[in-house]
Amino acid sequence: MILIVSRHYAMRHSFIALLLSGVCICSGATWSMDPASRLKGNEREAWKAFFAGVECLQEQGDRQRAADFFEQVAKEFPETRYATDSKELAGFLRQMVEEDKQWTAPRDPAALSVEGRIRYHTYHLRDVNCYP
């Protein structure tokens, strides 16, 4: 019974995969994972700068430079869908840069009071970097 169900399941999904690949080939459509490929004009240019800011932040952890990219989007492309978020992100990142300048890491975080450890760990949440 399990073998029959497995064959049926495999055949069904193989058929669906074959059907979908045939539709893509027959339609002549070219699809790209790059979001910029589906954008035009200022939207495309704004996306490029926005994505550069995201990459800079995620890959290098450079808040100052990422804020520069986001400010560029907000100033040069105010009519695009990325402008509002970019302005907000630039503001948050600039604030974080100033907080980083004033932060003094404790020598022994484990020796801090409960309130001190909460402040310490809350501050370091900004450094969490996870994405699929």
pLDDT tens-place values along the chain, 132 residues long: 444 444 544 555 555 555 555 555 555 556 677 777 788 889 999 999 999 999 999 889 899 999 999 999 999 999 999 999 999 999 999 999 999 999 999 999 999 999 999 999 999 998 887 766
Report the residue count for the chain: 132
Return the pLDDT at 103: 92
Structure tokens at 108: 């022994």
- Number of Cβ within 10 Å of residue 24's Cβ equals 11
Return the pLDDT at 16: 59
Return the pLDDT at 38: 80
Distance between CA atoms of residues 106 and 88, nearest Å: 30
Return the pLDDT at 131: 62
- CA-CA distances (angstroms) from residue 15 to 3, 9, 22, 31, 58? 18, 10, 10, 21, 39
Return the pLDDT at 48: 93
